[in-house]
Structure 1
Amino acid sequence: MPITAGLTLGAGIAATARWAGYDRDRSFYPTVLMVVASYYVLFAVMGGQALSVELAIATGFTGLAWLGGRGRLWLVGVGLLLHGLFDLLHPAVIDNPGVPAWWPAFCAAVDLVLGGWVLLLAGRVRRNGPPPH
């Protein structure tokens, strides 16, 4: 169920962003990446441990978002895909009791859909130039 919900939410976010024109703004998907990365920090605060490691990792994803927002959208797509991989590895490598058991699968599904979508958008931007504002 978490994977199905994540896939549906990821597709819904991409479709809504396209329909509403949010993804025309170069800051939209970098912001999504920063928000996605911040959830594990929230869970560390809730669980009372792993805060420093979760902050360090979120800082790395924020750096990718920043670089991607400066004209390298493909880095945001890669960042989302890497975060999906991180979600899958998280339970085995970081002890954070604040993370709900279903979260890694859910978040990985969202990240993988959005990461793939952003890479497709980045390819279009590269071929056709940026969308009009």
Structure 2
Amino acid sequence: MQAILVALLAGIGLALAALSGMRLVGLHADRGVHSVVLIAIAVFYVVFAVEHGEAGEIAFQSLLALAFTALALLGYRRSLWWVVAGLALHGVYDIAVHGHGANPAPDWWGPFCLGVDLMLALGLAVWIRRGAVRA
């Protein structure tokens, strides 16, 4: 339980550092950045699947990454609220597969990525609501 909490807090801390850095240099206002972040986050599970080398898992994770990529591109073209939704949904996915036997990610990854996903979603939502980035 302590390892899960440490991983979650590490993810939150990393996301807060990333959000702070983005805000500091003005990168937060670039609509494309948020879409690219969502795509990159989704691809990690594909990397873990490749590491394990099971074709079915690679295909499954690739399809999921494509779905998150579609949300990211929709968010870039239409509204960044789609990216917020994608980040939050990825956090839900992290919890759904955490501890599952077929999950290709390391045990600590689910809680860590959940912390990252939810903080990035929250940060982007706040920036949209405050007008710091155009939705």
TM over 0.5: yes
Percent of pairs with identical residues:
35
The residue aligned with 2:80 is 73
- Displacement of 1:96 in angstroms is 3.3
Mapped partners of 1:100, 1:92: distance in 2: 9
**Alignment length (residue pairs):** 128
Which residue matches 1:112? 118
**CA deviation vs aligned residue, 1:35-94 (integer Å, no higher than 9, x gap):** 000000000000112001100111000000001111401110111010001001013667
Q: Which runs of 5+ in 1 are unaligned?
A: none
Letter in 2 for 1:13: A
Decide whether aligned partners of structure 1 residues 21 and 45 sit closer, same or farther in structure 2, where only a CA change above 3 A counts. same
What letter matches 1:123 in structure 2?
R
Pick from 80, 85, 91: which aligns with 1:84? 91
Map 1:31-46 onto structure 2 (within 5 A).
Answer: 31-46=36-51
Question: C-alpha separation between the residues in 2 aligned to 1:29 and 1:94?
Answer: 31
Please give the TM-score of this superposition, normalised by the length of structure 2: 0.87
Contact map agreement 2:28 2:133 (CA 8 A) in 1: no
TM-score by length of 1: 0.89
What does residue 124 of structure 1 align with? 130
Computed over aligned residues only, the root mean square deviation of the Cα atoms, in angstroms, reads 1.9
Q: 1:52 to 1:94 in 2, by over 3 A?
A: farther
Unaligned runs of 5+ in 2: 1-5
- The ranges of structure 1 where at least 4 consecutive aligned residues each deviate by more than 4 angstroms after the TM superposition are none
Cα distance change on mapping 1:48 and 1:129 into 2, 3 Å: closer
SS in 2 for 1:27: helix
